[in-house]
């Protein structure tokens, strides 16, 4: 066993969608403190059969992770799987000092596409990734500080730096929170992205209410109308709103840790 194999990572959860060869790895720990962090409500994969409906229950909150995997155990779990796409997410994968070692666990999976979901506060190891999805919380500095507890200059700088180098495909996401990150703010985010590169895709997600916070979810009509306006600034804008679990998933997701 290599010395690194016994090192404990911050990976606390792994799921597998065999029909598409998609593996999602969840890392605990983050360098932002977002008021609306979805992990306060659900720390585990929302697509698991036991989770996909209860995340819409108003007072529901999942437990916190209490077990973490070593590098060697991750390799053992992944080795038998024909992984075509690995998604690194959770809280913030780049905060784990062993993130590069976790990426190495997939080195043997030929043609595996590695996708990182990040808040962009810390520069990721660019050349080990095929795609980076930046979650941009807010453009206005005072709102970003209120939302996350941190300044957003580094995030915006990292976003522009990755866009200019393009070692990996780059996409952006943001969350519409009526009364907080409102329509005007989302349009400012779209304008920022367009100033970097108008070809970068943006997805606007609907806020899922967190117990104890005052904001409501946007309606499908509100989010669609906003996406249509944002498209005039950034043509590759789409939106996503949940349907409270009414649509069945087209594939099965299972927990492998």
| 3-state SS class at 16 | strand
Q: How far apart are CA 194 and CA 202, in angstroms?
A: 10
CB burial class (10 A; 0-12, 13-18, 19+) of residue 164? Answer: exposed
Q: Which stretch binds ligand SF4 (CB under 6 A): 28-36, 42-50, 196-204, 222-230?
A: 28-36
Q: Which stretch binds ligand SF4 (CB under 6 A): 26-34, 99-107, 203-211, 245-253?
A: 26-34
Q: Which stretch binds ligand SF4 (CB under 6 A): 29-37, 65-73, 196-204, 244-252?
A: 29-37
Instruction: Determine contact, residues 205/173, Cβ cutoff 8 Å.
Output: yes
Using CB under 6 A as the binding rule, whether residue 6 contacts ligand SF4 is answered as no
Number of residues that bind ligand SF4 (CB under 6 A): 9
Using CB under 6 A as the binding rule, whether residue 42 contacts ligand SF4 is answered as no
Distances (CA, A) of 248 to 11, 243, 251: 28, 10, 9
- Tokens representing 2 are 């290599």
Using CB under 6 A as the binding rule, whether residue 55 contacts ligand SF4 is answered as no
Residues in contact with 167: Cβ distance below 8 Å, sequence separation at least 6, in sequence order: 126, 127, 129
| 3-state SS class at 175 | strand
Using CB under 6 A as the binding rule, whether residue 33 contacts ligand SF4 is answered as yes
Residue among 14, 74, 91, 186 that touches ligand SF4 (CB under 6 A): 91
Nearer to ligand SF4, 92 or 205 (CB): 92
Residues 97-136 that bind ligand SF4 (CB under 6 A): 119
Interface ranges with ligand SF4 (CB under 6 A):
30, 32-34, 37, 39, 91-92, 119
């Amino acid at each position: 066993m290599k010395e690194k194999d016994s090192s404990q990572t911050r990976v606390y959860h792994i799921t597998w969608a065999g029909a598409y060869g998609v593996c999602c790895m969840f890392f605990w720990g983050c360098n932002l403190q977002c008021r609306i962090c979805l992990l306060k409500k659900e720390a585990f994969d929302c697509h698991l059969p036991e989770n996909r409906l209860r995340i819409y229950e108003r007072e529901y909150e999942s437990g916190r992770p209490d077990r973490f995997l070593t590098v060697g155990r991750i390799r053992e779990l992944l080795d038998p799987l024909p992984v075509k796409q690995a998604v690194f997410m959770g809280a913030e994968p780049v905060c784990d000092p062993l993130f590069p070692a976790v990426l190495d666990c997939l080195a043997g999976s030929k043609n595996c596409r590695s996708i990182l979901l990040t808040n962009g506060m810390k520069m990721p190891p660019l050349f080990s990734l095929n795609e980076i999805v930046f979650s941009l919380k807010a453009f206005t500095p005072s709102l970003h500080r209120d939302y996350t507890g941190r300044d957003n200059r580094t995030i915006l700088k990292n976003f522009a730096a990755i866009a200019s180098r393009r070692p990996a495909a780059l996409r952006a996401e943001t969350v519409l929170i009526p009364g907080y990150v409102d329509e005007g703010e989302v349009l400012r985010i779209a304008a920022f992205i367009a100033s970097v590169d108008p070809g970068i895709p943006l997805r606007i997600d609907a806020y899922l209410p967190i117990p104890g916070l005052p904001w409501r979810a946007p309606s499908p009509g509100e989010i669609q109308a906003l996406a249509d306006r944002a498209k005039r600034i950034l043509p590759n804008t789409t939106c996503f709103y949940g349907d409270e679990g009414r649509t069945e998933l087209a594939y099965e997701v299972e927990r492998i840790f």
